[in-house]
Amino acid sequence: MAPIDAAKLTADLIRCPSVTPAEGGALVLLDALLTDAGFDCTRVDRGGISNLFARWGAKGDARTFGFNGHTDVVPVGDEDSWTADPFGAEIREGIMYGRGTTDMKSGVAAFAAAAIDFVSNTPPNGAIVLTITGDEEGDALDGTTALLDYMTAENEQMSVCLVGEPTCPNEMGEMMKIGRRGSLTAYFTFTGKQGHAAYPHRANNPLPAMARLMDQLSSHTLDAGTDHFDASTLAVVTMDTGNPATNVIPADCRATVNIRFNDVHSGSTLTDWLQSRLDAVAKDTGVAIDMSVKISGESFITPPGALSDLVAAAVTAETGRTPELSTSGGTSDARFVQHHCPVVEFGLVGKTMHQVDENVPVAQIHQLKDIYSRILRDYFA
């Protein structure tokens, strides 16, 4: 079988308009390509989300290398601001433009191409599994979680897993992820008593209570960081009253905070801390404060060891750089995979992801395929 051109496959995927939750033809394309190469493919659709499970090799093989990625992309935004068709995969001066070029259709294409070439030329003593979702950029309720649920039900197992998210800040090979911070969003509603601004004693203004609580939360130092994580952060992301009148004290107002936390904390301990601060302000002000919390993921880490050494060695061999082992950035689907098996992340430079004119140098796509190919060779050696 002729080698798979990872850049051409990337372009074919870019031309599939798979804006979350639309499948757009991307998984259909991958399904056909992988099936032709001898992979057993199964669509694992759930809740209106399209997902693909593909395995080469014996089911339940004790030595199985897994890859996780997504073909869904964020909306293009103002299309008139693009200098190229967001779904055209236009190449100018060696750079491919399009939504998903960086995040992360190039990563999916590079690994699929590496895996197909590998099993075609040197069939390994083991198995390779690809879990590709169409729901990473959305709520992620029926994407990788659905694939992992399917694997549990079917007694499928990955020994280790590589997530192909873009991980490098500026130069190819400079960073890989061995964990991620947790993410928690807390929504507050403050309810007082509406009244005339000239007679504040007849009202109970919820705005000072909101300002006091937000100041207390944002000025608090959560921690100083840990061995593998930076210090946790809390950001006040919105404060709203919706009150256009200057002579009315509003009855209620709302605020939202987002916390990115390390392994000092858990979602539950932070929720308890927020509740204690909330209760104190409510008691002092007489304003009723309700809170709802959404935990997008807990912090986790895959301790440095065999898997990170394997990936780092391949990256160094192909780029000449020793990647930093990092836990920075937002969340990824690795937060789900880490419950299944050891997981690390490595992918492209992510400077243009989610931006207008998102792009990737074509040479980087080929380089990424070379890195993934070396990882597979070294793992099964």
CA distance 120 to 118: 5
Give the per-residue pLDDT at 139: 86
Q: Indicate if 222 and 346 belong to the same structural domain.
A: no
Q: Indicate if 293 and 312 belong to the same structural domain.
A: no
Summarised one tens digit per residue, pLDDT across range 335-376 is 999 999 999 999 999 999 999 999 999 999 999 999 999 999
Out of 297, 313, 336, pick the residue that ends a domain: 297
Q: Is the pLDDT of residue 6 over 90?
A: yes
Give the per-residue pLDDT at 195: 97
Q: What percent of the chain has pLDDT over 90?
A: 96
Q: For residues 142-162, give the mean pLDDT.
A: 97
Residue 375 CB contacts under 8 Å (≥ 6 apart), including other chains: 65, 162, 310, 311, 314
Q: Indicate if 165 and 314 belong to the same structural domain.
A: yes
Give the per-residue pLDDT at 287: 98
Q: Indicate if 228 and 142 belong to the same structural domain.
A: no
75 pLDDT band, cuts 50/70/90, is very high
CA distance 112 to 116: 6
Q: Indicate if 171 and 221 belong to the same structural domain.
A: no
Summarised one tens digit per residue, pLDDT across range 87-129 is 999 999 999 999 999 999 999 999 999 999 999 999 999 999 9
Q: Indicate if 290 and 312 belong to the same structural domain.
A: no
- The answer to whether 72 is a known catalytic residue is yes
Residue 354 CB contacts under 8 Å (≥ 6 apart), including other chains: 74, 103
CA distance 358 to 343: 27
Q: Indicate if 158 and 201 belong to the same structural domain.
A: no
> Which residue has tokens 């995927």?
13
Summarised one tens digit per residue, pLDDT across range 26-66 is 999 999 999 999 999 999 999 999 999 999 999 878 899 99
Q: Indicate if 176 and 194 belong to the same structural domain.
A: no
Question: For the domain that residue 261 is a member of, what is the CATH number?
Answer: 3.30.70.360
Q: Is the pLDDT of residue 2 over 90?
A: no
Give the per-residue pLDDT at 331: 87
Catalytic residue among 12, 31, 72, 263: 72
Mean residue pLDDT of the chain comes to 96
227 pLDDT band, cuts 50/70/90, is very high
Q: Indicate if 60 and 174 belong to the same structural domain.
A: yes
User: In Å, what is the CA distance from 329 to each residue of 38, 177, 260, 262?
Assistant: 36, 9, 9, 12
Q: Indicate if 133 and 172 belong to the same structural domain.
A: yes
Give the per-residue pLDDT at 330: 84
- The answer to whether 31 is a known catalytic residue is no
User: In Å, what is the CA distance from 330 to each residue of 80, 179, 228, 265?
Assistant: 28, 10, 15, 16
Out of 297, 314, 346, pick the residue that ends a domain: 297
Give the per-residue pLDDT at 329: 86
Beta strand segments in 318-375, E:
324-326, 343-345, 359-361
Give the per-residue pLDDT at 62: 83
Catalytic residue among 23, 31, 61, 136: 136
Beta strand segments in the chain, E:
40-43, 51-56, 64-70, 91-92, 95-97, 127-133, 160-163, 175-177, 179-180, 182-191, 195-196, 233-240, 248-249, 252-261, 288-297, 300-301, 324-326, 343-345, 359-361
Give the pair of three-digit tokens for residue 171.
């130069």
Q: Is residue 1 part of a domain?
A: no
**Residues comprising the chain, all counted:** 381
Q: Please count the structural domains in the chain.
A: 2
Summarised one tens digit per residue, pLDDT across range 251-296 is 999 999 999 999 999 999 999 999 999 999 999 999 999 999 999 9
Give the per-residue pLDDT at 207: 98
**Reported pTM:** 0.90
Q: Is residue 321 part of a domain?
A: yes
List the domain range (segments joined by +) for residue 373.
6-180+300-380
Q: Indicate if 128 and 271 belong to the same structural domain.
A: no
Out of 243, 278, 297, pick the residue that ends a domain: 297
Residue 160 CB contacts under 8 Å (≥ 6 apart), including other chains: 65, 66, 307, 341, 342, 343, 379
